[in-house]
Each structure stands twice: as C-alpha cells, then as structure tokens.
C-alpha cells in the first residue's frame, strides 16, 4: 500500500490520541503520540526540579534526554532513559506541565527533529498540535479535530473517574480552557489548523464514528496518491497454484504418457489453452480416460468418478485443495453420525458435486439467499462451499437455528477466499471503478464482481481486450482484483492496458511492479 503520513492536530481531549491509535492499527501503520513525547520532557523536568524559566538548565536537560518509542501489540511504549513511563506521564500535573514546556523553543526544536526522524519512512499516524503545520507540513493527509470545550471537559472528567482519580469537573474545564488559550497563543508553533487540513467536529461523535470517518479519508488519500492499485491476495490461490504445478510436473516427467485433468483445472479458458499446448488435456468424463495420468483439480471430484478412474487403470494425482478435502470428510462424518447435512453453495459447481457425493439421501444443497426445506428435522449439520461469503453462511444459520434442536455448524470457507473478498471490498469502497479479472464461469470471480458492484461501478473481464476504454479514461481511482484462477501474467497485461489507455508509460514487467492496496502480512 502507498505509504503516507497522516497528521492529526487539535486541542486537548478532542479525541486525537484514541482515534489516531485505532486508525494506525486499522491501516497497519505506526502510531506516534507526539504529545506523550512532550509529557516525557515535562516528567524529566519535574523529576530534576528544573524550573521552566531556567532555559540553560532545560537546554542541558534536552541534550541528554533519551526518549525512545517501542511498539507492542497493545500500542506504543514510551521509554525515558530506558524506563517505561507510559503510565507515569498521564497525570494531570504532567499534562499541564507539558503544555508549558512545549512552548520552549529548544524543547520544540529537539522534539520536532526526533518526530521527523521517527516518521521519515512514512506509513505513520501522528497526533499533536502542530504536526500538519510544523512537523510534517508535507503530510499527505492532515486532520484538525475540534470539539466543544464543555464536551472535552466531560470526556477528560470521565477518563479520570475511570482511572480512579478524584477530580472536579469545574477544575477540569478551567484547566482545558487555560490550556487552549496557552496552546493557541504561544509564540512558537501555536495551535491552528493547517491551510489544507480537514476539520472534523467530534462533539457529537463516538470513537468508532471518528475512526471510521478518518479511515475512509485515509483510504481516499492513499488511493489518490496511487490511482491504480491491485487488491491484496489477487490471483492464483494456494490450491490452484499447487494443482497447476502438479500437472506441469507430471507432463514433464512422463512425456510419453497422456496427461489429463478431469474438467478444466482452473476456470480460465486462456490458461487452459496454454496447458493444452503443453499436452495437458481436459477430459469431461472419467469414463473417457484409460491408462493415463489424471490430475484431480483443486475443486475435487465425486466418489463415483474416482472409482471410474481407478477402474480405467489410470495413475491418479490428487490435487484437491485441502480445504475442499476437509468438506468431503465432514459431510461423510456427519452423515455417519446421523446428521442430515445442509450444504451452502451452488449445486451446479464441481466443488458441490464432489461434496454431495460424500453425503446420503438426507443431504441437501441450499443456495445463498434460498429458503431451506428442513421440515421435521430435529438436528442438522451445516457445511459451506469454500468460496462462499461468511455473511451467507451466517444468514443460513439464522434461518436454521430456530427450526431444530441441535445445529452443528462448520465454517469451511477458505481463508484465502475470505481474505481476497475482504481486501477487494475495502478497495472497492474507495474506487470509482473496479476491474475484476477472471473466468466468466468462475464462481469465486463472480462473487468478487458481486461484492464490488455493491460499492462502485464494476467490470468483469477475462482478458485486457474486454476493457471498456471509455469507462477507464474517465475513472479515477481504479481498483483491480482477480479471481483464484487468474495468472499473474494476465493481471500484468490488464494493468498495463489500463496504464496505456490513461496515456501513462510506466508499465509493469512483474506483479511486484503493481502497487498493492494492502501490504502483505506474510
């Protein structure tokens, strides 16, 4: 993902820190609480009993001040001379002292230098009172958060009460008013919004609302910096990649023996044609194949088809996706235990045909949104096609649960599929146009198209030749996603064609050249 700097400024208790911290977590960015750094300076001055008017002493203190920020799963840990002071700096006394010490030029000079050093690699969210105006005036996104001082006083008062600190609301209000005045009227870097900042009034907003709003603004700004991006997890999934490798290896190792896949190994006509040129052929029926090498594709096959292949004297290479294999085992296990099985999915899909073959006469298939027929069933087991959406499974469970006394639910939705769908949906939310690449008969690609269509204009294509030039030329930003049967080469060709339509010359030669919407986590 394009790395940007997000600067969040505003008065005390306007919600900056909590929102910035959560925003950074959601984006996968680093969070820097610059206010905490000034608090550390204040804490050090208090410990050494240095008066703020004693500028030479303050300057000497700053020369030896050792502030470091460590990252943990729970947020930043602020270290002062190697000691954790994260909690020690949160007292009202330190807060008030921080406002005063931050107005001292030498303090600001040292802290701004350190903050710039910490944020030089971007992918960072910083909050304070001069981040967008002084520290990072070049920040790609600047937010200025405001709120009524009375509302901010209520927040700070509740926060102190939650911590068990005895406080007076009137005193808290007065201290905030004084702090606002001091911050806004100091001679060095006074509190004010940057000219290009976006002001947000949080007086009547909850934390989740604030985070959601800033998250959308951040995505829009990230997308505007890189107006053509690829959704993470696009293209071949593990199961497809494994099946193709096994087929290619078989063809290479046994050049004199026919190699077949039972059905298209992937729902991608162009790639299937390329495999055909390498003597990897497609057979439609198991009974057609005799004394050959047969690749069972990632979708899996029905039990009776496997038996026919064995009877035909074939060498079977099983490339069934492990996630699909697990559904076969669960269907059979639940039937053996006396549970009528309800399978969520498309009854015509080859994966479903294989799953149903492991069931019995009480096994039924229910499509997404369809009403299940379960009259008279006291207990049920629910299993999903691996490429379904989790919300479809949840909707089916909601329908079944009131109708039976015992319901066993197995979430067999492929993790890679879920990640692909989530990444695609997030990208679609901030794109003018989504390009979905994949076979027109691919179930998981059609699902991606359905997801994108809920949020923006969408184009489902198999090759770059199907791109609508008029739609491409007028849309910015554009997102790209690709189904599990789409090779990297096709993604590159589509990306480059879009760039050419846009009149841009920086084309990709590998998938790594294409800006990815979210950075890989593994």
Contact 292, 314 (CB under 8 A): yes
373: helix, coil or strand? coil
Q: For residues 483 and 446, what is the distance between their CA atoms, to the nearest angstrom?
A: 8
φ, ψ of residue 115 in degrees (nearest 5): -65, -40
* Whether residue 336 lies in the annotated active site: no
Q: For residues 185 and 206, what is the distance between their CA atoms, to the nearest angstrom?
A: 29
Query: Hey, what's the torsion of the CAs at 141, 142, 145, 146, to 10 degrees?
Result: -140
Q: Which residues of 48-70 are buried (b: 16+ CB within 10 A; e: fewer)?
A: eebeeeeeeebeebbeebebebe
Q: Which neighbouring-strand residues pair with 296?
A: 318
188: helix, coil or strand? coil
Write out the two tokens for 379. 């207990």
Q: How far is CA 241 from CA 213, 230, 250, 414, 518, in A?
A: 38, 19, 14, 15, 22
Q: How far is CA 465 from CA 63, 242, 321, 437, 496, in A?
A: 63, 28, 31, 12, 12
Q: For residues 22 and 26, what is the distance between their CA atoms, to the nearest angstrom?
A: 6
Q: How far is CA 191 from CA 47, 134, 182, 186, 295, in A?
A: 27, 10, 9, 8, 67
Q: Which neighbouring-strand residues pair with 124?
A: 5, 30
Beta strands in 259-328 (DSSP E): 259-262, 280-283, 293-296, 315-318
Q: For residues 56 and 307, what is the distance between their CA atoms, to the nearest angstrom?
A: 89
Write out the two tokens for 160. 């102190």
* Separate counts of helices (H) and strands (E) for the chain: 18, 20
Residue of 175, 351, 462, 464 with catalytic role = 351
Sequence-ordered alpha helix ranges (H) in 186-316: 207-225, 238-253, 269-277, 303-311
Three-state DSSP string of 437-490: ECCCCCHHHHHHHHHHHCCCEEEEECCHHHCCHHHHHHCCCEEEEECCCCCHHH
The residues, any chain, with a CB within 8 Å of residue 468's CB and separated by 6 or more, are 459
Q: How far is CA 338 from CA 358, 376, 380, 519, in A?
A: 13, 14, 9, 45
Catalytic residue annotation: 351
């Amino acid at each position: 993902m394009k790395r940007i700097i997000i600067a969040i400024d505003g008065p005390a208790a306007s919600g900056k820190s909590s929102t910035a911290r959560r925003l950074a977590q959601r984006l996968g960015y680093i969070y820097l609480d610059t206010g905490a750094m000034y608090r550390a300076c204040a804490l050090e001055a208090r410990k050494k009993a240095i008066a703020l008017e004693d500028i030479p002493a303050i300057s000497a203190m700053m020369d030896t001040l050792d502030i470091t920020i460590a990252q943990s799963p729970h947020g930043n840990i602020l270290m002062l001379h190697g000691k954790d002071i994260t909690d020690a700096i949160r007292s009202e006394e330190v807060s008030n002292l921080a406002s005063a010490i931050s107005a001292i030029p030498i303090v600001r000079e040292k802290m701004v230098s350190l903050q710039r050093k910490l944020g030089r690699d971007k992918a960072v969210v910083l909050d304070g009172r001069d981040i967008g105006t002084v520290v990072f005036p070049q920040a790609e996104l600047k937010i200025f958060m405001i709120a009524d001082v009375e509302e901010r006083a209520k927040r700070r008062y509740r926060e102190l009460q939650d911590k068990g600190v005895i406080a007076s609301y009137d005193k808290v209000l007065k201290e905030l008013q004084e702090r606002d005045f001091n911050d806004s009227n100091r001679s060095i870097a006074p509190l004010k919004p940057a000219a290009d900042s976006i002001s947000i009034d949080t007086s009547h907003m909850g934390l989740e609302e604030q985070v959601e709003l800033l998250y959308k603004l951040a995505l829009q700004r990230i997308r505007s910096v890189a107006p053509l991006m690829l959704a993470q997890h696009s293209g071949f999934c593990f199961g497809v990649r494994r099946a193709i490798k096994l087929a290619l290896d078989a063809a290479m190792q046994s050049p004199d023996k026919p190699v077949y896949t039972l059905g298209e190994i992937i729902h991608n006509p162009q790639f299937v044609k390329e495999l055909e040129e390498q003597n990897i052929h497609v057979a439609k029926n198991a009974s057609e194949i005799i004394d050959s090498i047969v690749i069972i594709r990632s979708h899996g096959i029905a039990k009776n088809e496997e038996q026919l292949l064995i009877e035909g004297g074939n060498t079977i290479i099983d490339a069934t996706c492990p996630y699909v294999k697990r559904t076969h085992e669960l269907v059979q296990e639940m039937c053996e235990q006396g549970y009528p099985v309800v399978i969520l999915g498309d009854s015509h899909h080859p994966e479903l045909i294989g799953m149903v073959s492991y069931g019995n006469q009480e096994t039924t298939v229910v499509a997404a949104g369809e009403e299940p027929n379960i009259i008279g069933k006291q207990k049920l087991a629910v299993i999903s096609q691996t490429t379904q959406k989790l919300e479809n499974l949840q909707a089916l469970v909601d329908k079944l649960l009131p109708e039976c006394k015992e319901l066993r639910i197995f979430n067999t939705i492929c993790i890679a599929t879920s990640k692909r769908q989530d990444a695609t949906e997030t990208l679609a939310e901030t794109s003018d146009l989504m390009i979905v690449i994949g076979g027109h008969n691919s179930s998981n690609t059609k699902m991606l198209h359905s997801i994108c269509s809920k949020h923006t204009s969408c184009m489902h294509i198999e090759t770059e030749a199907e791109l609508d030039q008029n739609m491409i030329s007028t849309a910015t930003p554009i997102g790209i996603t690709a189904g599990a049967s789409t090779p990297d080469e096709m993604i590159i060709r589509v990306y480059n064609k879009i760039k050419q339509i846009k009149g841009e010359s920086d084309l990709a030669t590998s998938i790594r050249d294409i800006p990815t919407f979210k950075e890989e986590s593994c």
